[in-house]
Amino acid sequence: MATLLDKTQQSNRSSPKWITHIVVPLFNLFVALMIAGIVIYFNGDDPIEALLLLIKGAFGNDEFIGFTLYYTTNFIFTGLAVSIAFHCGLFNIGGEGQAYIGGLGVGLVAIYLGHLSPFFVIPLCILAAVIFGASWALIPAYLQAKRGSHIVITTIMFNFLAAAVMTYLMVEVLIEPGQQAPQSREFNNNSWLPFMHEIFNFFGIQISVSSLNFSFIIAIISSLLIWLFIWRTHWGYEIRTTGANQKAAIYAGISPSKNIILAMVISGGLAGMVGINEIIGVHHRLILDFPAGFGFVGIAVALMGRNHPLGIFFAALLFGALYQGGAELSFDIPNITRDTMVFIQGLVILFSGAMEFVFKPYIENIYFFIKNNLLRS
Amino acid sequence: MLEYFTIFSLLIDSTLRIATPLVFAALAGLFAERSGVVDIGLEGKLLGAAFAAAAAAAITGSAFIGLFAGIICSVFLSLIHGFACVTHKGDQVVSGMAINIFVAGIGPTLALAWFKLGGQTPQLSGDARFSPLHFPGEEIIANIPYIGLIYSEILSGHNIFVYLAFILIPIVSWIVYKTKFGLQLRAVGENPEAVDTAGISVDWMRYKALIITGLLCGFGGAYISIAQNAGFIRNMSAGQGFLALAALIFGKWKPGLTLFACLLFAFTDALQARLQGVAIPGIGVIPVQFIQALPYILTVILLAGFIGKAVAPKASGIPYIKER
């Protein structure tokens, strides 16, 4: 698993950073979109028209932008979660389950303490999201660190366990009394995170109503903190060293098991924060299946964003636009649905993750050809 | 007494049905992982094959063409995995996950465009499905107590896939442990350098293993959509590929033990369906979710090394790069 970062960071020839960090990911995205375009074409629709509608549906007006950024918020959290595990050489597929359990933490606080002051209950909700998400990652992390159980398999198992736990709780325990649908009662509005349109309204600026809420700002702050943590603290350095070369880490006096657990706990905490955006940000009640695959989108986001918070922001924005634009798009082109976006997401993971070395040499060759032949004359 | 025996027979009957796709997928995974390629894309291959089989069967009206399409689709997905991970030494887990997500998206997308039924295929019937095989004399023997139940519920009345899955176990054991191919397969998963030194292509061996993986997942997926069910619906593999992966680990990458794990997991699922809302004397109602989660809990406990030790093939997950 450590190979994942080694190969992206060291190149046999020194092509400039912007090639590996910008041109290659964009080219991989381009290939993924081309394949999706071909499928759309053969389904009898115009891919160019679809792309334009998608962009319009994602950024066409302030309402659409609001929804795009609302999805972006989720993808920043899950993208950061996957990336910090990658930095430690681990593949956390458990973002989905960690987000689910994180949401449970948020919901429990909001249900039982929701009547208290917002200044107390909202921070407590955020803390609960982090702690619950982190603890769901802790067991797989411990088993990887101390007993050598493969984290990929254990986190997959924990996704299913989270789904089972949540279904049980929603159906049997937390269900609103007298209701058929497995969802909790609506929280006291002391625990609701303010919507962005409410915040703007407070300052006298009118923007359209959307699901975008204060969680977006929490996501941006988290990105900055993760950047500081990974590149500016000795903990981050130890995690990266463990990820790059465990043996070297041991010789340097760094404990891999400590760092595996630390990285996974932070990863789980970040994934858990999806619960903030979804549960006290939008739904204001606990519902079934609210992570809706967002944990898996985090894999694509981290890979495309090259595990850097800035890259992750743009990759999350891209997927936010795909999800929101795709939803709008399906009104005009009924053949293109959320499933089509999942399909594009899979292609992005394939090309910028598993096949990242396929096109890179060609792009580098073109770069060196241009540099050596065309620019010299 | 006979009443309990009837319940038991029916439980075994549904266990066999539920176990079938697990057996196909787990044996598929066995080939990939024994060759040193981690395959968490079993789920995607099952789903892809289920879609292709149902779509082809719906269009042509032939279950056999459906099966064939399912196999082609699954082998194709396996080859993508091979291209990414064997030829280009990409990350196997990432590639497997990409295939899972890719298939989860493209199946309903194509189904919607082709059949206009909201991401499903039409309901299949008649020749477009594989129907259960009924052994001769079933009606007569069924009346005999005990033996009749065993004959009519447990032995007879299954799909051809169910019998095929169980016949496969000794065949796979034989291939893996008694043939030259099996020896090379195991060697390439444990020590690819040695296989390379012996003049056998590591990459080609892994591709061969992946083609078998695709083939078996093709059967598993086709069973799900055109035998067990009557058409494709969104995400119908519902984690069975991952459950098969868990069974493979639980079975320590050995065919016989893997079969046992598949049967165990299938039994918990069958039991769960039966125990829904039933109070057990002295225990009360067991939440179905707990029984559903049992296979995953057991696998985690096994992986943690508390009940035996699951040791993966040594080279699994590591791309083989020839030294120059």
Mean pLDDT highest for which of A307-316, A335-344, B153-162?
A: A307-316
- Predicted pLDDT of residue A321: 95
Which of B102, B112, B293 comes nearest A337 by C-beta?
A: B112
End-to-end CA distance of chain B: 70
Taking a contact as any Cβ pair under 8 Å apart, which residues of chain A between 277 and 296 contact chain B?
Answer: 296
Maximum alpha-carbon separation in chain A: 80
Q: Take residue A267 and report the two structure tokens written for it.
A: 């990863």
- Predicted pLDDT of residue B309: 67
Question: How many angstroms separate the CA atoms of A69 and A302, rounded?
Answer: 17
Q: Which of A357, A157, A182, A150 is nearest to A287 (CA)?
A: A182
Inter-chain contacts counted by CB atoms under 8 A, chains A and B? 163
Say if CB B310 and CB B298 are below 8 A apart.
no
- Residue type for position A60: G
Residue to mutate among A288, A294, A350, with most B CBs inside 10 A, is A350
CATH fold of the domain at B12-303:
ABC transporter involved in vitamin B12 uptake, BtuC (1.10.3470)
Is A334 domain-assigned?
yes
Sign of the dihedral through C-alpha B30, B35, B41, B45? negative
> How far B104 CA lies from chain A's nearest CA (Å)?
7
What's the mean pLDDT when you consider all of chain A?
91
Which of B93, B100, B300 comes nearest A152 by C-beta?
A: B93
> How far A95 CA lies from chain B's nearest CA (Å)?
13
Q: Take residue B25 and report the two structure tokens written for it.
A: 């997928």
Domain count, chain A: 1
**What residue in A sits closest to B108 (Cα-Cα)?**
A339
Which carries the bigger pLDDT value, residue B153 or residue B202?
A: B202
Percent of chain A whose predicted confidence (pLDDT) is above 70: 96
The counts of H helices and E strands in chain B are 13, 2
- Predicted pLDDT of residue A4: 47
Say if CB A337 and CB B119 are below 8 A apart.
yes
Is A22 domain-assigned?
no
- Predicted pLDDT of residue A72: 97
Say if CB A275 and CB A105 are below 8 A apart.
yes
Q: Does A346 sit within 8 Å of B106, measured CB to CB?
A: yes
End-to-end CA distance of chain A: 44
Say if CB A123 and CB A185 are below 8 A apart.
no
Q: Take residue B204 and report the two structure tokens written for it.
A: 């080609």
- Predicted pLDDT of residue A57: 95
- Residue B279 sits at φ, ψ, to 5 deg, of -85, 130
Q: Which of B10, A305, A29 is nearest to B2 (CA)?
A: B10
- Predicted pLDDT of residue A320: 96
CATH of the domain at A269: 1.10.3470
Which chain A residues are within 8 Å of B80, Cβ to Cβ? 350
- Predicted pLDDT of residue B148: 77
Is A225 domain-assigned?
yes
Q: Does A9 score more than 60 pLDDT?
A: no
Q: Does B283 score more than 80 pLDDT?
A: no
- Residue type for position A125: C
* Element holding B198 (H helix, E strand): none
- Predicted pLDDT of residue A73: 97
What's the mean pLDDT when you consider all of chain B?
90
Q: Does B305 sit within 8 Å of A353, measured CB to CB?
A: no
Residue to mutate among B89, B236, B276, B303, with most A CBs inside 10 A, is B303
| pLDDT band per the 50, 70, 90 thresholds, residue A2 | very low
- Predicted pLDDT of residue B308: 65
**Which residues are within 8 A (CB) of B247 and not within 5 positions of it... i.e. 6 or more apart?**
B22, B26, B258, B261, B262, B264, B265, B295
Place of tokens 């078996």: B216
For residue A181, count CB atoms less than 10 angstroms from its CB and return exposed for 0-12, middle for 13-18, buried for 19 or more.
exposed
**What residue in A sits closest to B90 (Cα-Cα)?**
A354
| pLDDT band per the 50, 70, 90 thresholds, residue A8 | very low
Q: Which of A317, A303, A247, A350 is nearest to A87 (CA)?
A: A303
Provide the β-strand partners of residue A213: A195
Per-residue pLDDT tens for A316-349?
Answer: 999 999 999 999 998 999 889 889 999 999 998 9
Is A12 domain-assigned?
no
Cα A220 to Cα A84, A226, A314, distances in angstroms: 16, 10, 12
Say if CB A337 and CB A343 are below 8 A apart.
no
Which of B91, B242, B292 comes nearest A156 by C-beta?
A: B242
Q: Take residue A237 and report the two structure tokens written for it.
A: 């350095």
Which chain A residues are within 8 Å of B291, Cβ to Cβ? none
DSSP codes, A76-88: HHHHHHHHHHHHT
Interface pTM (ipTM) of the complex?
A: 0.90
b/e sequence A52-75, b meaning 16+ C-beta within 10 Å? ebbeebbeeebbbbbbbbbbbbbb
Q: What is the mean pLDDT of residues B142-171?
A: 85
- Residue A273 sits at φ, ψ, to 5 deg, of -70, -15
Domain of A72 in residue numbering reads as: 33-39+47-372
Q: Which of A295, A266, A281 is nearest to A97 (CA)?
A: A295
> How far B291 CA lies from chain A's nearest CA (Å)?
9
Q: Does A150 sit within 8 Å of B303, measured CB to CB?
A: yes
- Residue type for position B20: T
Q: Which of A324, A320, A265 is nearest to A298 (CA)?
A: A320
Per-residue pLDDT tens for A71-120?
Answer: 999 999 999 999 999 999 999 999 999 999 999 999 999 999 999 999 99
* Ranges of H-type helices in B142-201: 147-149, 160-178, 180-190, 192-197
Is A5 domain-assigned?
no
Q: Does A25 score more than 90 pLDDT?
A: no
Say if CB B53 and CB B70 are below 8 A apart.
yes
Per-residue pLDDT tens for B193-205?
Answer: 999 999 999 999 9
Place of tokens 């002391």: A190
- Predicted pLDDT of residue A3: 46
**What residue in B sits closest to A293 (Cα-Cα)?**
B101
Residue to mutate among B91, B115, B232, B298, with most A CBs inside 10 A, is B91
> How far B253 CA lies from chain A's nearest CA (Å)?
14
Q: What is the mean pLDDT of residues A218-225?
A: 97
Percent of chain B whose predicted confidence (pLDDT) is above 70: 98
> Considering only A82-91, A94-103, B134-143, B243-252, which range has the smallest mean pLDDT?
B134-143
- Residue type for position A184: S
Question: How many angstroms separate the CA atoms of B25 and B47, rounded?
Answer: 11
Q: What is the DSSP letter of A195?
A: B
Question: How many angstroms separate the CA atoms of B76 and B74, rounded?
Answer: 5
Question: How many angstroms separate the CA atoms of A143 and A90, rounded?
Answer: 13
- Predicted pLDDT of residue B202: 94
Q: With the CA atoms of B260, B263, B266 and B272 taken in that order, what torsion angle do they form, in degrees rounded to the nearest 10?
A: -90
